[in-house]
């Protein structure tokens, strides 16, 4: 069942250690993933293809509200986590409530840290940590015209 991909930080750490002990490369990314769309799927699939396992840090509802405003998220954290865990290219989902995923990144210790190309390596939270331990930081081109914000605006016009 995909629900068992939704794990605590402690469980994520244990899984990552086990995967790395087998020589697997762990990719980490994070986000809100509110109203899942083609851009999310394309991005996550490409992120997973950079390594053997994909760990996804998912913002809690309170965290999304702080980042995006009172009207967000549209989809609650449990539903977002279940949707993310249903994708075959996502191996673990960990909720986080902090303003940034830095603590999560430092605890999980991924081999590859990934964000969309709306970031630069210099602006990606945790990049210094991952590079400092010999890992890689990469950006993935985003699919143009797809964002949750633009979808919400489109819906409002209907």
Strand partners, 56: 29, 93
Q: Taking all residues of the chain, what is their mean pLDDT, rounded to a whole number?
A: 94
CA dihedral 32, 36, 37, 41 (to 10 degrees): 80
Q: Whole-prediction pTM value?
A: 0.92
SS3 category, 62: helix
Domain count, the chain: 1
Q: What is the CATH number of the domain that holds 78?
A: 3.40.50.620
- For 107-156, the pLDDT digits (tens) are 999 999 999 999 999 999 999 999 999 999 999 998 887 777 778 788 88
List Cβ neighbours of 18 (8 Å cut-off, separation of 6 or more). Answer: none
pLDDT attached to residue 149: 74
Backbone angles phi, psi at 56, to 5 degrees: -115, 120
Separation of alpha carbons 114 and 50, rounded Å: 9
- For 61-118, the pLDDT digits (tens) are 999 999 988 988 999 999 999 999 999 999 999 999 999 999 999 999 999 999 999 9
Judged against a pLDDT cut of 70, whether residue 1 lies above it is answered with no
Distance, C-alpha 153 to centroid of its chain: 23
| Structural domain span for residue 119 | 2-156
List Cβ neighbours of 10 (8 Å cut-off, separation of 6 or more). Answer: none
pLDDT attached to residue 108: 98
């Amino acid at each position: 069942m995909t629900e068992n991909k939704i794990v605590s930080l402690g469980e994520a750490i244990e899984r990552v250690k086990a995967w790395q002990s087998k020589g697997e490369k762990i990719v980490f990314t994070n986000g809100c993933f509110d109203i899942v769309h083609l851009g999310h799927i394309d991005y996550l699939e490409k992120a997973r293809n950079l390594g053997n396992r994909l760990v996804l840090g998912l913002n809690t509802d309170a965290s999304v509200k702080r980042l995006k405003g009172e009207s967000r998220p549209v989809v609650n954290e449990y539903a977002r986590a279940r949707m993310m865990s249903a994708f075959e290219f996502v191996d673990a989902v960990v909720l986080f409530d902090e303003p940034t995923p830095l603590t999560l990144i430092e605890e999980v210790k991924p081999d590859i840290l990934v964000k969309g190309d709306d970031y630069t390596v210099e602006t990606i939270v945790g990049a210094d940590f991952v590079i400092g331990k010999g890992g890689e930081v990469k950006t993935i081109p985003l699919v143009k015209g797809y964002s949750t914000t633009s979808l919400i605006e489109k819906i409002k016009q209907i």
